């Protein structure tokens, strides 16, 4: 796949956004067309610091503790290299297994091995790239193969001239000024002024006025999106904070509207009268604007953008009302706490309304007693979710494109566990904990295949079911069990292979490594445990009084255990004993949300903030 780039970015910004798995890109060649020589091209032994300005050490900059290999090949005056990212690591090309061969239409690069840890370790993998010149542009396609999921492939290009170059998205020219806007902490400083520093040398360039925090919606480099009330309207504007607040665009919307930013690229606004508008954040150009139902008591909106669709959630509850103006961001009204309102889907290319859903009239409530923690599951073109409230709810499936309801099962109210899709006996089924049961529903039809009693205290069935071969690990107040599901003709039966009533689980879900099941039980003031899934034998438990809750994650040979007191324990994923290796304090307040594990760090949410902590 190739894509032509047309907007203007700084060299640093351009290099930042060039990574795309299996995707192509293009740039304008700076050298005149030359005849392509036959034969193999030399491999340039470059590293991550080759031709890169490295600033003085300080808290403002991060880098590898070593020079990462980035062997490259020259093509049309530029030097091309590649990096492969998985969910756990970053890999470079092994120069010893890298070749570059001229072809009739350009250059083919092939690498049959990868390296990591600064080139000290090798890994199996293959990267191929085809570079070609098309008119006044260079196009390339790159693919990567590994024995683990590949998250993205980044193209590293050297020799790009400073200044204006062509890339994708909306037109924007920061004039290659790389600036830092820093709050002045001195007592005599003004609240609406900031210091402007050079990002390269750190020198003070001057002072600039900036909107107060409560009026700033978002910032991107020197661009600031802010809002201010004017009579019966709210004026939203994007301006250049360095160039004396030169307006890039502005837009008026009625008071009482709600808005959100979509993936850092677009601005969505819902007006009280029901007009829904999406505009480009860079230019203010209206992508589309459609009339919907009036929303006079709207609390917040959230917009989820996918490849071909926008999904709008418009909630009339679960968030603070702000009738006097525009609510910039839903920081205090997290939609995951449950919404009470309407959902809309729009075609991304045209903004045409595809479907609309509202369940307020179908059930006596739209979320369980303690809010929503369930995540829907998607499979075979369907989206399956638990809807309704205690003693009045259902499991329902919808067509992912049209939003049409395909089936609904009203046998129990929703709980807090997320459904999963598994295939047992050759039949795909939705397995989930409901308010009082564990059930298996046919994915295609919603027919009830099997059900067992699985009561949770106050209906709080929270752990997600875990597939173990053709069987299921279920956990909750009844304890931890292995459930055998059998198909005999058109009939289904279940039997408990084992059940450990002492290992109850309340808020977290179990994880698996081979035959080992790891989890956190709320018994004895909180204990970590490991069970042999085949025999049901408890292999070990930790010391008691670990806390009220802990999230259990697994990566390779390690367990990552985030307790509610903000302590992160890294332990060995072993059936021999509880073996903590490291302990970290990762937040200043309680941590209940699942952390996000990244290749080089972890993202943690506490009661008041979201933080990224690096392993390096």
Q: Which CATH number goes with the domain that contains 454? A: 2.40.128.630
Both structure tokens of 614? 């690096």
More confident residue, 333 or 291: 291
Strands (E) across 57-192 are located at 73-75, 78-86, 90-93, 98-103, 106-111, 114-116, 121-123, 126-134, 137-145, 150-158, 165-167, 179-183
486 and 606 part of one domain: no
In a domain, 528, yes or no: yes
373 and 487 part of one domain: yes
State the average pLDDT for the chain. 79
* Kind of pairing between the strands at 471-476 and 420-424: unpaired
Residues 285-300: what's their mean pLDDT? 87
In a domain, 258, yes or no: no
76 and 151 part of one domain: yes
pLDDT of residue 84: 93
- Over residues 346-371, the pLDDT tens digits come to 999 899 998 888 776 677 666 666 66
Residue 492 has pLDDT above 60, yes or no: yes
Residue 220 has pLDDT above 50, yes or no: yes
**What's the domain count of the chain?**
4
159 and 218 part of one domain: no
- The band of 615, judged by pLDDT with boundaries at 50, 70 and 90, is confident
In a domain, 336, yes or no: no
Residues 331-356: what's their mean pLDDT? 71
Residue 8 has pLDDT above 60, yes or no: no
- Over residues 301-327, the pLDDT tens digits come to 888 888 788 988 887 754 444 333 444
Distance between CA atoms of residues 492 and 509, nearest Å: 26
Least confident of 58-67, 494-503, 600-609: 58-67
542 and 489 part of one domain: no
82 and 230 part of one domain: no
Cα–Cα nearest to 470, from 540, 423, 514: 423
In a domain, 544, yes or no: yes
Least confident of 14-18, 316-320, 490-494: 14-18
Per the structure, the complete domain to which residue 564 belongs is given by 509-616
187 and 94 part of one domain: no
Residues 128-147: what's their mean pLDDT? 87
Burial letters 163-198, b for 16+ CB under 10 A, else e? eebebbeeebebeeebbbbeeeeeeeeeeeebbbbe
587 and 543 part of one domain: yes
Cα–Cα nearest to 183, from 174, 193, 175, 173: 193
Distance between CA atoms of residues 424 and 422, nearest Å: 6
In terms of Cβ atoms closer than 10 Å to its own Cβ (0-12, 13-18, 19+), residue 58 is exposed
pLDDT of residue 33: 35
pLDDT of residue 296: 76
**Last residue within a domain, chosen from 501, 533, 566:** 501
462 and 593 part of one domain: no
Q: How far is CA 26 from CA 102, 157, 559, 590, in A?
A: 19, 11, 42, 47
**Last residue within a domain, chosen from 196, 227, 250:** 250
Q: How far is CA 390 from CA 128, 368, 413, 458, in A?
A: 54, 5, 5, 9
Specify the pTM: 0.55
Q: Does residue 77 contact residue 30 with C-beta atoms inside 8 Å?
A: yes
- Over residues 79-123, the pLDDT tens digits come to 999 999 987 788 999 998 999 998 888 899 999 999 988 787 888
More confident residue, 5 or 198: 198
23 and 147 part of one domain: yes
Highest mean pLDDT out of 84-88, 330-334, 467-471: 467-471
Residue 540 has pLDDT above 90, yes or no: yes
Q: How far is CA 212 from CA 185, 217, 602, in A?
A: 15, 10, 31
Distance between CA atoms of residues 174 and 195, nearest Å: 18
15 and 160 part of one domain: yes
Residue 193 has pLDDT above 80, yes or no: no
Distance between CA atoms of residues 560 and 557, nearest Å: 10
């Amino acid at each position: 796949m190739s894509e032509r780039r047309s907007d203007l970015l700084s060299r640093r910004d351009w290099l930042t956004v060039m990574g795309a798995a299996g995707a192509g890109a293009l740039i304008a060649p700076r050298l005149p067309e030359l005849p392509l020589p036959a034969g193999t091209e030399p491999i340039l032994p470059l590293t991550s610091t080759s031709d890169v300005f490295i600033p003085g050490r300080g808290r403002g900059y991060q880098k590898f503790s070593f020079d990462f290999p980035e062997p490259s090949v020259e093509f049309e005056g530029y030097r091309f290299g590649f990096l492969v990212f998985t969910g756990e690591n970053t890999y470079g090309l092994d120069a010893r297994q890298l070749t570059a061969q001229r072809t009739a239409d350009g250059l083919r690069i092939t690498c049959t091995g990868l390296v990591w840890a600064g080139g000290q370790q090798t890994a199996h993998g293959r990267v191929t790239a085809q570079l070609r010149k098309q008119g006044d542009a260079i196009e390339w396609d790159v693919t990567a193969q590994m024995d683990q999921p590949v998250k993205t492939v980044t193209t590293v290009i050297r020799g790009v001239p400073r200044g204006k170059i062509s890339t994708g998205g909306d037109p924007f020219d920061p004039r290659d000024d790389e600036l830092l806007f820093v709050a002045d902490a001195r007592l005599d400083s003004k609240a609406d002024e900031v210091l402007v520093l050079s990002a390269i040398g750190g020198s003070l360039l001057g002072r600039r006025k900036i909107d107060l925090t409560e009026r700033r919606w978002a910032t991107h480099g020197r661009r600031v999106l802010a809002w201010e009330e004017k009579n019966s309207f709210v004026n939203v504007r994007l301006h250049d904070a360095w160039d004396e607040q030169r307006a890039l665009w502005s837009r008026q919307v009625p008071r009482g509207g709600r808005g959100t930013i979509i993936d850092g690229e677009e601005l969505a606004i819902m007006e009280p009268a029901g007009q829904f508008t999406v505009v480009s954040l860079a230019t203010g150009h209206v992508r589309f604007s459609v009339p919907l139902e009036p929303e006079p008591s709207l609390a917040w909106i959230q917009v989820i953008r996918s490849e071909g669709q926008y999904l709008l959630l418009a909630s009339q509850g679960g968030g603070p009302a702000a009738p006097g103006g525009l609510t910039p961001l839903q920081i205090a009204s997290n939609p995951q706490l449950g919404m009470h309102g309407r959902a809309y889907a729009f075609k991304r290319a045209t903004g045409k309304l595809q479907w609309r859903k509202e369940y307020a009239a179908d059930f006596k409530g739209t979320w369980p007693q303690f809010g929503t923690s369930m995540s829907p599951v998607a499979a075979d073109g369907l989206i399956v979710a638990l809807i309704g409230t205690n003693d009045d709810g259902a499991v329902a499936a919808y067509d992912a494109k049209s939003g049409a309801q395909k089936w609904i099962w009203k046998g129990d109210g929703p709980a807090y566990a997320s459904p999963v899709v598994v295939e047992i006996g050759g039949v795909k089924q939705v397995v989930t904990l409901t308010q009082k049961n564990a059930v298996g529903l046919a994915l295609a039809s919603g027919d009830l295949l099997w059900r067992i009693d699985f009561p949770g205290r106050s209906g709080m069935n929270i752990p997600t079911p875990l597939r173990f071969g053709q069987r299921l690990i279920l956990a909750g107040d009844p304890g931890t069990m292995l459930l055998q599901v059998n198909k005999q003709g058109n009939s289904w039966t279940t039997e408990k292979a084992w059940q450990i009533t002492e290992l109850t689980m309340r808020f977290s879900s179990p994880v698996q490594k081979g035959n080992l099941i790891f989890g956190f039980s709320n018994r004895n003031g909180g204990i970590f445990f490991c069970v042999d899934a085949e025999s049901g034998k408890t292999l070990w438990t930790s010391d008691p009084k670990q806390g009220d809750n802990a999230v259990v994650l697994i990566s390779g040979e390690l367990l990552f255990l985030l307790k509610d007191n903000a302590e992160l324990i890294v332990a060995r994923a072993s059936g021999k004993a509880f073996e903590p290796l490291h302990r970290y304090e990762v937040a200043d307040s309680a941590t209940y949300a699942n952390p996000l594990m990244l290749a080089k760090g972890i993202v943690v949410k506490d009661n008041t903030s979201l933080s990224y902590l690096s392993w390096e």
